[in-house]
């Protein structure tokens, strides 16, 4: 439904500004008149520029954790019988995130002026996303907002927990590798030159292993600035390339084929997809809209493409289970559970069970990955540092040959 910005006067001749949700400009004017406000300027449709003009992004990024807290507290207040406008104003005082505070006040004002909660959310789509907005819109139509807020809070909490586990599993080896590289580079740049000067003062020929490490140290000291510059450019380039859909698809396909990590990414993505689809179907969304949103909210382009292809087939009358069976990306358990759910009319419940199963699989995979990575990283890092130490102390055993 369109949203119109207005400037008018109330019965006390005070200037009033705001937005009103209506099917047309005439309906909007009549709605304002019913509130005792006469428009003194031409009503203009709000295309969302208001939020861009406000530009409160500098106040801080709104994380999934912030949205979970917002939803959980909003559900608690709505459950207690507090009107949505009052609940948003109370939340404004409690939310720690400054940007979300401003958004809560903006939504409260919009609803107070006659707008719907789902429309208010849609004006902050970059924060709440299609899943959140669609589920709230369906709840408003069905009159089940309280139940939907509870389901949303539980859904987002589980998604946040799942993402946290995957991120921790991916972050640990990356962090250890970065620390190891910094230590090794530090040794090569600052420690090795001391040994080099000592051995040069003695004269003689150095062992090949020692000379190799010294050459590597010299090269690194000469080109470390260019190396860091090239690394930064590479990272920026990869981030920019990921914005291109075809490139992102290739990169995501590559990630899924990685040993150990690929399986973890796939399981977490399937768990995320299953839970998202289950939540939307349970909230009353039709299967086509639910599949479209579940595909769009997927973080992996390979899974997203497969889900949207499944949606096209379902739209043509093919069952979801049959459509999924045509794509290798969907595991047999998901396909079988969806097929059983379609026959029994309990697809949402079956998807919940699939999500729970793969979340447990992610837990086990993270534990196994951590236990596997620790000894591997110790051996690799210890071996690299040990190689440098042996190379630099090797001439000491031949000190007599070095002294002329």
| pLDDT single digits (tens) 217-253 | 888 888 888 888 998 999 888 888 887 888 888 988 9
CA 309 to CA 325: how far, in whole Å? 12
Q: Is the pLDDT of residue 352 over 50?
A: yes
Mean pLDDT of the chain: 83
Radius of gyration, CA atoms only, the chain: 30
Q: Which of the residue ranges 55-64, 142-151, 322-331 would you say has the lowest mean pLDDT?
A: 55-64
Averaged pLDDT for residues 120-145: 87
Averaged pLDDT for residues 334-350: 92
- Banded pLDDT at 349 (limits 50, 70, 90): very high
Q: Is the pLDDT of residue 330 over 90?
A: yes
Q: Which of the residue ranges 42-46, 110-114, 249-253 would you say has the lowest mean pLDDT?
A: 42-46
Q: Which CATH number fits the domain 54-156, given the four candidates 1.10.10.10, 3.40.190.10, 1.20.81.30, 3.40.50.300?
A: 1.20.81.30
**At 124, phi and psi to the nearest 5?**
-130, 45
Q: What is the pTM of this model?
A: 0.68
Q: Is the pLDDT of residue 12 over 90?
A: no
pLDDT of residue 204: 66
- Banded pLDDT at 61 (limits 50, 70, 90): confident
Q: Topology of 158-404 in CATH? A: Receptor-associated Protein (1.20.81)
pLDDT of residue 50: 42
Percentage, residues of the chain above pLDDT 70 = 92
Beta bridge partners of 38: 9
Highest mean pLDDT among 19-33, 211-225, 303-317: 303-317
Estimate to the nearest angstrom the gap between the alpha carbon of 115 and the chain centroid. 29
Averaged pLDDT for residues 290-300: 84
Averaged pLDDT for residues 186-191: 86
CA 220 to CA 215: how far, in whole Å? 9
Q: Is the pLDDT of residue 335 over 70?
A: yes
Q: Is the pLDDT of residue 337 over 90?
A: yes
Beta strands 15-21; 44-45: pairing state: unpaired
Element (H, E) at 125: helix 125-142
Q: Which of these, 135, 125, 115, lies nearest to 75 by C-alpha position? A: 135
More confident residue, 126 or 353: 353
pLDDT of residue 52: 41
Domain boundaries, the chain: 3-47, 54-156, 158-404
Q: Is the pLDDT of residue 399 over 70?
A: no
Q: Is the pLDDT of residue 59 over 70?
A: no
pLDDT of residue 325: 92
Q: Is the pLDDT of residue 54 over 60?
A: no
Contact 37, 6 (CB under 8 A): yes
- Banded pLDDT at 401 (limits 50, 70, 90): low
Averaged pLDDT for residues 145-151: 90
pLDDT of residue 47: 57
- Banded pLDDT at 331 (limits 50, 70, 90): very high
């Amino acid at each position: 439904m369109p949203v119109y910005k207005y400037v008018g006067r109330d019965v006390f001749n005070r200037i009033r500004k705001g937005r009103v949700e209506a099917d047309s400009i005439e309906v909007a004017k009549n709605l304002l008149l019913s509130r005792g406000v006469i428009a003194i300027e031409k009503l203009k449709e709000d295309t969302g520029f208001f939020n861009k003009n406000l530009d409160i992004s500098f106040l801080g990024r709104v994380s999934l954790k912030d949205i979970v807290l917002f939803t959980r507290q909003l559900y608690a207040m709505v459950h207690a019988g507090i009107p949505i406008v009052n609940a948003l104003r109370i939340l404004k005082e409690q939310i720690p995130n400054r940007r979300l505070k401003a958004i809560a006040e903006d939504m409260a004002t919009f609803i107070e002026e006659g707008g719907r909660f789902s429309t208010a959310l849609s004006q902050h789509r970059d924060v709440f996303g299609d899943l959140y907005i669609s589920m709230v819109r369906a709840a408003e139509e069905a009159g089940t907002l309280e139940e939907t807020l509870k389901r949303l809070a539980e859904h987002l909490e589980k998604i946040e927990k799942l993402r946290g586990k995957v991120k921790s599993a991916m972050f640990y080896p990356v962090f250890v590798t970065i620390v190891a590289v910094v230590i090794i580079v530090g040794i090569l740049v600052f420690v090795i030159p001391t040994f080099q000067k000592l051995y040069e003062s003695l004269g003689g020929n150095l062992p090949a292993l020692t000379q190799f490490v010294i050459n590597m140290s010299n090269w690194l000291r000469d080109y470390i600035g260019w190396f860091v510059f090239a690394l930064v450019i590479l990272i920026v380039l990869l981030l920019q390339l990921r914005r291109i859909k075809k490139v992102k698809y290739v990169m995501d396909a590559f990630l899924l084929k990685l040993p150990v990590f690929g399986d973890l990414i796939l399981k977490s993505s399937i768990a995320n997809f299953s839970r998202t689809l289950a939540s939307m179907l349970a909230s009353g969304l039709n299967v086509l809209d639910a599949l479209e949103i579940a595909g769009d909210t997927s973080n992996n382009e390979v899974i997203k493409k497969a889900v949207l292809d499944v949606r096209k087939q379902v739209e043509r009358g093919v069952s979801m289970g049959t459509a999924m069976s045509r794509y290798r990306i969907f595991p047999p358990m998901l396909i079988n559970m969806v097929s059983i759910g379609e026959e029994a009319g309990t697809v949402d419940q079956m998807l919940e069970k699939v999500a729970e199963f793969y979340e447990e699989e992610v837990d086990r995979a993270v534990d196994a990955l951590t236990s596997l990575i620790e000894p591997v990283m110790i051996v690799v890092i210890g071996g690299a540092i040990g190689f440098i130490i042996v190379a630099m102390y090797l001439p000491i055993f031949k000190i007599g040959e070095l002294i002329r």
